[in-house]
Amino acid sequence: MVALLLINYNNKTNNLKAIERISAYLTYKIITLHKFEQTVHLSNGYFQKQLRNKGSIGSDILIKIADNYNDLDIIWVLTGEGNMLKFPAKIIELSEKQQYNIY
């Protein structure tokens, strides 16, 4: 039996800044910084520069992030409380055939 589990970022991110939590989300979702910047209409390199300097993210950018990344919990981004994703992954049980791709 194989189970897919969502990494629980709770209690590990309370000491991080919002920009670092966003970076954790992007890493988890395997989204490049360039793609992220394009999606939320940021200039090329803006997010990486802010991340490097541990800068702040303005409310206008947070709104764009919330609009474009529906599964990301903005309360988690702001406070570090709760789960990173609004809809945590469910445990998925695969049959023995599915585990080994035998059809």
Q: pTM, whole model, 2 decimals?
A: 0.73
Note the pLDDT tens digit of each residue in 21-77: 999 999 999 999 999 999 999 999 999 999 999 999 999 999 999 999 999 999 999
The sign of the dihedral angle between the CA atoms of 9, 10, 15, 21 is positive
Residue 102 belongs to what domain range? 1-103
Which pLDDT score, from 0 to 100, does residue 9 have?
45
Q: Regarding predicted confidence, which is higher, 3 or 58?
A: 58
Complete DSSP assignment for 14-73: TTS-HHHHHHHHHHHHT--HHHHHHHTTPPTTHHHHHHHTT----HHHHHHHHHH-TTB-
The answer to whether the CB of 14 falls within 8 A of the CB of 82 is no
CATH of the domain at 16: 1.10.260
Structural domains of the chain, count: 1
